[in-house]
Structure 1
Amino acid sequence: MDNIEEKYRLLARQLNGELNDAEHELLTDELNQDETFVAKQYVLQVFWQKFFPKVKSQSHERIMTDTMKRVMGIKEVKRPQMTIWYSAIAILVVALGISLARNLLVDKNNELIQYVANVGETKKVVLPDGTKVDLNAGSSLVIQKDFTADKRQVILTGEGYFDVAKDAEKPFEITTSHLKVSVLGTRFDLKAYADEDEIKAVLDEGKIQLDGEFNKQQPVFLKPGYAATLNKNTGELQIQPHKQQSAEQWRDGKLVFYNHTLAQIARILERRFNARIIILNDEVKEYRFSGDFSHANLFELLGYLSAARPFTFETSGEYIVISK
């Protein structure tokens, strides 16, 4: 099996208890042929057991009641699969590199520390070196207990605004599923949600170096006032001037959209309001909106959007279903 993402997708499905017989046989063969892959499987299991057992239960939630399915004439609606999330976790753990693998494998007492901003909240964190991080809703930051030893390494899933304390002797590295950011002292926003197709870094001050799975094989350096956007599917990395104050807005609790698709907005609303949103039509997913909705509650906001581009929305328990 040459596709590395497929390997870690299988590991993720194994941890989630989703492997079928054919996948189990394929994973077993891969583990028998590659001792390094076995070690990485152990690293992922350690990481998983420490931080993500609660996420697993969400895969058993139902999207719609049987009654709602009959009313809407829907034969079958698949349950939300958490495999995409788990695959991202698998990839980013491996992406952190051999150093973390060695530490976890050699020193079983090595501890990891996790900071979490749950859905519906943001959180301010001060790391042991004095670095300040604002975590957006639905985000997680993981560090090792000996964070300030030789190299300052963190793992980010979600979005964080970093004000990195300067230390020329100890580089600061942020690892996401497909991108690594290296800095000494700087201020920037990094958005890397597992359920989104893009990773975006916006630099306010200083300089950052970008390495990762993109078509430009050489490291890329970002200057203040610019944004780097990585498409995780194509590997294309785009560098463009950036004037929007999106990070400042979410840090202040504001909710502002700039030509966002409804699909993008739905993910933001899920994290902001702890909601579950389903959009049934591909056309509706691509509707675009701009505006400041900071003072609107969830249903007011959906009402405003549906008035601008007609769509319907209704609730079923904790779920909101949007259709044309």
Structure 2
Amino acid sequence: MDEQLLQYFSNELPVEERLELIHRIENDNQLKAEFIRLQNLSAVSQLSIHPSDRNEGLKYFKLFDSRIKQNTQRKLLVNIAKYAAIALILIASSIWTTLYLSGNATETAINTLYVPAGQRAQITLQDGTEVWLNAQSTLKYPSHFSKKNREVEITGEAFFDVAQEKKRPFIVSTQHIDMKVLGTQFNVYSYPDAGYIQTDLIEGSVKVTQNKDKKNSIILKPNEQVIVYGNNMAVTNTLNPEHMLWKNGIYAFTNERLITIIEKLQLYYDVKIVVEDPEIFNVKYTGKFRQRDGIDEILRILQKIQSFKIERDKENNIITLTK
């Protein structure tokens, strides 16, 4: 039996852990079923456990649980059914109260998910929104969203499949812009060292607004992208939709200069790549790489396109490319 459940019903679970438990219950059907079962047992047995008599209370609680499982007499089943309506009311009241309180208490409680170099991750938020994170990316999000909106913050690259809620907009913030949506799919590229922010919309609509100038905003349509350089925002059709294959573990490039590809690989794999002869990397390349192949294998493949030498300084995590 889950220890947190026992502490919950004995009123010994701290507030922050109660919120964690409720979040687990929402995302774990088996745990939710166990929670409801224990709520029924608690209601039927009329338990009133306090911290001072925890051991005694738990002893009788487990004894009652055992009797419920072993006794198959019809009379007992009828009694349980009789109390079912009361138990359901108690369950609904308890869950609603806990969720209501946790919704107010966790507005400032922020979780942080960081994805290391060469990796990717996927997470489902409390409202059902799915987020994929690329390498070297960080997502900050609350355990429970407020009643007015759903706000998260991204550094790096992320793909969002936002659960639709008409009354609560979903807001994604980066270092320079805010994106406001209701229900949609879009990709955000926002590495601090990249020098620009790019948002590609797959479906739905996204309103992109400058943080420092709220009047400077645009609304994207499906298959459009916006690239933000400083205070400038340029909207075009999505040029390389296969770029978003990164969430499937594939880095895809379409007619991009090798120097640009190398700059992106530097971000993805957290390695400094020094290019001593940039002019030899102006050739354009179209191709795909598997993320798990790693930076060394990818550079060896690129050598077949354009001949260059590779020197690796493992101690300082530097790769130098020369003629």
TM-score range normalised by the length of the shorter chain: 0.5 to 0.7
Q: 1:146 to 1:303 in 2, by over 3 A?
A: closer
Q: Once the 2 structures are TM-superposed, how far is the Cα of residue 143 of structure 1 from its aligned partner?
A: 1.9
1:250 aligns with 2:243: no
Report the AA paired with residue 308 of structure 1.
I
Equivalent positions of 1:180-259 (< 5 A) are 180-212=178-210, 217-232=215-230, 235-242=231-238, 244-259=240-255
Partners of 2:106 and 2:142 within 8 A in 1: no
Q: Once the 2 structures are TM-superposed, how far is the Cα of residue 271 of structure 1 from its aligned partner?
A: 4.5
Partner of 1:305: 302
Report the AA paired with residue 160 of structure 2.
F
Alpha-carbon separation, structure 2, partners of 1:216 and 1:286: 38
Partner of 1:27: none
Give the 3-state SS of the residue equivalent to 1:130 in structure 2: coil
Alpha-carbon separation, structure 2, partners of 1:146 and 1:242: 33
Alpha-carbon separation, structure 1, partners of 2:256 and 2:280: 12
Partner of 1:124: 122
Partners of 1:120 and 1:271 within 8 A in 2: no
Partners of 2:106 and 2:143 within 8 A in 1: no
Partner of 2:176: 178
Alpha-carbon separation, structure 2, partners of 1:210 and 1:168: 18
Partners of 2:107 and 2:144 within 8 A in 1: no
Alpha-carbon separation, structure 2, partners of 1:219 and 1:274: 32
Alpha-carbon separation, structure 1, partners of 2:214 and 2:303: 41
Equivalent positions of 1:1-324 (< 5 A) are 110-212=108-210, 217-232=215-230, 235-242=231-238, 244-284=240-280, 286-294=282-290, 297-317=294-314, 318-324=317-323
Q: Once the 2 structures are TM-superposed, how far is the Cα of residue 166 of structure 1 from its aligned partner?
A: 1.1
Alpha-carbon separation, structure 2, partners of 1:108 and 1:135: 23
Alpha-carbon separation, structure 2, partners of 1:311 and 1:178: 37
Report the AA paired with residue 134 of structure 1.
W
Output one character per residue of 1:120-167: Cα deviation in whole Å (capped at 9) or x when no partner.
111001111111000111111112344233221111101110011111
Q: 1:256 to 1:151 in 2, by over 3 A?
A: same
Give the 3-state SS of the residue equivalent to 2:222 in structure 1: coil
Report the AA paired with residue 321 of structure 1.
T
The count of corresponding residues between Structure 1 and Structure 2 is 216
Alpha-carbon separation, structure 2, partners of 1:154 and 1:304: 37
Output one character per residue of 1:207-256: Cα deviation in whole Å (capped at 9) or x when no partner.
11011169994421100011111123xx3211111253335411111122
Alpha-carbon separation, structure 2, partners of 1:170 and 1:297: 40
Alpha-carbon separation, structure 1, partners of 2:223 and 2:173: 22
- TM-score w.r.t. the length of structure 2 is 0.60
Q: RMSD over aligned Cα, in angstroms?
A: 2.8
Greater share of helix? 2
Alpha-carbon separation, structure 1, partners of 2:276 and 2:112: 35
Q: 1:178 to 1:287 in 2, by over 3 A?
A: farther
* Identity among equivalent pairs (%): 27
Q: Once the 2 structures are TM-superposed, how far is the Cα of residue 257 of structure 1 from its aligned partner?
A: 1.4
Partners of 1:176 and 1:192 within 8 A in 2: yes
Report the AA paired with residue 195 of structure 1.
D
Q: Once the 2 structures are TM-superposed, how far is the Cα of residue 282 of structure 1 from its aligned partner?
A: 4.0
Structure showing greater Rg: 2
Alpha-carbon separation, structure 2, partners of 1:302 and 1:269: 9
Alpha-carbon separation, structure 2, partners of 1:320 and 1:176: 29
Q: Once the 2 structures are TM-superposed, how far is the Cα of residue 182 of structure 1 from its aligned partner?
A: 0.3
Give the 3-state SS of the residue equivalent to 1:190 in structure 2: strand
Alpha-carbon separation, structure 2, partners of 1:203 and 1:282: 32
- TM-score w.r.t. the length of structure 1 is 0.60
Partners of 2:207 and 2:219 within 8 A in 1: yes
Alpha-carbon separation, structure 2, partners of 1:109 and 1:165: 19
The farther-off stretch of 138-147 and 215-224 is: 215-224
Partner of 2:85: none
What are structure 2's unaligned runs of at least 5 residues? 1-104
What are structure 1's unaligned runs of at least 5 residues? 1-106
